[in-house]
Amino acid sequence: MNLAEVIGTIWATKKDPNMEGLKMQLIQPITTKHKKTGEPLIAVDTVGAGSGEIVFYVTAYEAVIPLQNQPALVDASIVGIVDRIEDTA
Amino acid sequence: MNLAEVIGTIWATKKDPNMEGLKMQLIQPITTKHKKTGEPLIAVDTVGAGSGEIVFYVTAYEAVIPLQNQPALVDASIVGIVDRIEDTA
Amino acid sequence: MNLAEVIGTIWATKKDPNMEGLKMQLIQPITTKHKKTGEPLIAVDTVGAGSGEIVFYVTAYEAVIPLQNQPALVDASIVGIVDRIEDTA
Amino acid sequence: MNLAEVIGTIWATKKDPNMEGLKMQLIQPITTKHKKTGEPLIAVDTVGAGSGEIVFYVTAYEAVIPLQNQPALVDASIVGIVDRIEDTA
Amino acid sequence: MNLAEVIGTIWATKKDPNMEGLKMQLIQPITTKHKKTGEPLIAVDTVGAGSGEIVFYVTAYEAVIPLQNQPALVDASIVGIVDRIEDTA
């Protein structure tokens, strides 16, 4: 899993029916030192993260799991909001 | 999911039988600031996106999901057309 | 899916039994402008592409699908031969 | 699989229910020469690795396998602690 | 699939039970011109490749397939030893 900051939202009325009702957040991947790394991406949010919060997210196949009643057309999903990072490096 | 602009189409008469009838679009990945990022790729289009439209697409396993009656030989699929992006970063 | 040019072949007599009989092609990924991008890779060919032809291929999980009678140990597969690309970008 | 050093831990009280009870470690990918390569990432630890230990980890789909009673929302998992590397290159 | 040279071995006594008995090789990805490309990685070897041999390997989901009696925690697997490469590029 990787860290990201929630930086926005995306709207799409014309989309695959299986995506109806899913909240999509725009997230900026960050390092453990809170530096940006790479471009923002769109992730489904199932934990209720708000703008500015630090989250961790999964990509690829696992991203479909939180959305159990609907086979989801997603490849990125926020799965937790970070309380604290202990980086001893 | 990532953002892209639909920039073209691709034709192939000789292809795997499972791909018959699928519309393939050429898409250019873009950032939230509408800058190109990386090379164009070929994605199956199940939402009817037109040339010049901003879409978001999935890659990898999930890309097979929209094509339920046929196990699809695709690894990228357009799943929505973007109405609006709110980027507070 | 991505574009590639078929540039060669690979032989291996000692291999996993499930790969017996599969034709492996060496392909060079290219852009829509026919420029090389990245290193050549090995893909299973199920559409009969010949050396010099422009093809599109899938990577990752989907690559197992064309080989239905045998669970395939492949992660890249040629799925079509390109007739024409319309790139309006 | 790739090598990494365990460099920290991450806490998250608000997360997907399926992640309850999973230990998440912060790991720094390293080369066989113990040089850092890329950014730290978050991996589920099912082998009891401690801070400073060299581990190898899987990414993507396979990462869900160690967590059999719960479909896991993870895309990286520590699967072994390295005793010795013999690099003849 | 990609090419690699077997360059070493890795030992780990403390690992996930499903990995018991699997031989892990350290492999260096190479181009068709036998140049190193990227960092070495750890792959399960099911074809009996020896140090110095040129092999091709799969990554991601397919890597679990050779290990049929045990759901494998691996994301890279050697699936063949290369006899000859014909690169006409």
Query: Has residue A86 got a pLDDT over 80?
Result: yes
Percentage of the residues of chain B whose pLDDT score is greater than 70:
83
Which residues, other chains included, contact B18 with Cβ-Cβ below 8 Å and sequence gap of 6+? B70, B71, B72, B73, C65, C66
Q: Contact at 8 Å (CB) between B83 and A22?
A: no
Query: So what CATH class is C1-12+20-57+71-89?
Result: mainly beta
Q: What is the pLDDT of residues C15-27, one digit of tens each?
A: 887 777 888 899 9
Query: Has residue C68 got a pLDDT over 50?
Result: no
The CATH number of A2-54+66-79 is 2.40.50.220
Q: Do B60 and A61 make contact, defined as CB atoms within 8 angstroms? A: yes
DSSP code of residue C44: E
Burial class of residue E61 in the structure, from the number of CB atoms within 10 Å of its CB (0-12 exposed, 13-18 middle, 19+ buried): buried
Pick the CATH number of B2-81 from 2.40.50.220, 3.40.50.300, 3.60.70.12, 2.60.40.420: 2.40.50.220
Instruction: Provide the strand spans (E) within chain A.
Output: 2-11, 14-15, 24-30, 41-45, 54-59, 76-81, 84-87
Which residues, other chains included, contact D20 with Cβ-Cβ below 8 Å and sequence gap of 6+? none
The residues with which E54 forms a beta bridge, in sequence order, are E5
Q: Do E10 and D85 make contact, defined as CB atoms within 8 angstroms? A: yes
State the chains in contact with E (3 or more Cβ–Cβ pairs under 8 Å): C, D
Query: Has residue B60 got a pLDDT over 70?
Result: no
Bigger pLDDT: E68 or B1? Answer: B1
Q: How is residue C8 written in tokens?
A: 């060669």
Q: Which residues of B touch C2 (CB under 8 A)?
A: 39, 41-42
Q: How is residue C77 written in tokens?
A: 């597969």
pLDDT at B57 (0 to 100): 92
Instruction: Provide the strand spans (E) within E1-89.
Output: 2-11, 14-15, 24-29, 41-45, 54-59, 76-81, 84-87
Query: Tokens 């113990």 map to which residue?
Result: D34
pLDDT at B72 (0 to 100): 54
pLDDT at A63 (0 to 100): 46
Q: What is the pLDDT of residues D29-86, one digit of tens each?
A: 999 999 999 999 999 888 899 999 999 998 865 444 444 444 556 678 888 999 999 8
> Which of A60-69, B22-31, B54-63, D72-81 holds the top average pLDDT?
B22-31
The CATH number of D2-6+18-81 is 2.40.50.220
Each domain of chain A, given as residue ranges in start order, spans 2-54+66-79
Distance CA E50, CA E28 (A): 13
pLDDT at E62 (0 to 100): 44
Residue among A83, A48, A40, A43 nearest A64 (CA):
A43
pLDDT at B55 (0 to 100): 96
C79 CB near a chain B CB, below 8 Å?
yes
Residue among A44, C4, C40, D63 nearest B42 (CA):
C4
pLDDT at A6 (0 to 100): 97
Q: Which of D10, D18, D60 sits opposite A85 (nearest CB)?
A: D10
Q: Do B85 and A19 make contact, defined as CB atoms within 8 angstroms? A: no
Q: What is the dihedral of CA E37, E40, E45, E50, to 10 degrees?
A: 80
Q: What is the pLDDT of residues C45-64, one digit of tens each?
A: 888 999 999 999 988 654 44
pLDDT at D72 (0 to 100): 53
pLDDT at D60 (0 to 100): 62
SS3 E60: helix
pLDDT at E22 (0 to 100): 83
C71 CB near a chain E CB, below 8 Å?
yes
SS (H, E, C) chain D: CEEEEEEEEEECCEECHHHCCCCEEEEEEECCCCCECCCCEEEEECCCCCCCCEEEEEEHHHHHCCCCCCCCCCCEEEEEECCEEEECC
Q: How is residue E13 written in tokens?
A: 């006594």
Least confident among A38-42, A64-68, B7-11, D10-14: A64-68
Least confident among B59-63, B67-71, E42-46: B67-71
Architecture of domain E2-12+20-81: Beta Barrel (2.40)
Q: What is the pLDDT of residues B22-42, one digit of tens each?
A: 888 999 999 999 999 999 999
pLDDT at B63 (0 to 100): 46
Separation in Å, CA of A59 to nearest CA in chain B: 9
Query: Tokens 């090789």 map to which residue?
Result: E25
Q: Which residues of A touch B46 (CB under 8 A)?
A: 16
Q: Which residues of D touch A89 (CB under 8 A)?
A: 5, 7-8, 28, 40
Under-70 pLDDT residues of chain E:
60-74
Query: Tokens 């990577």 map to which residue?
Result: C59
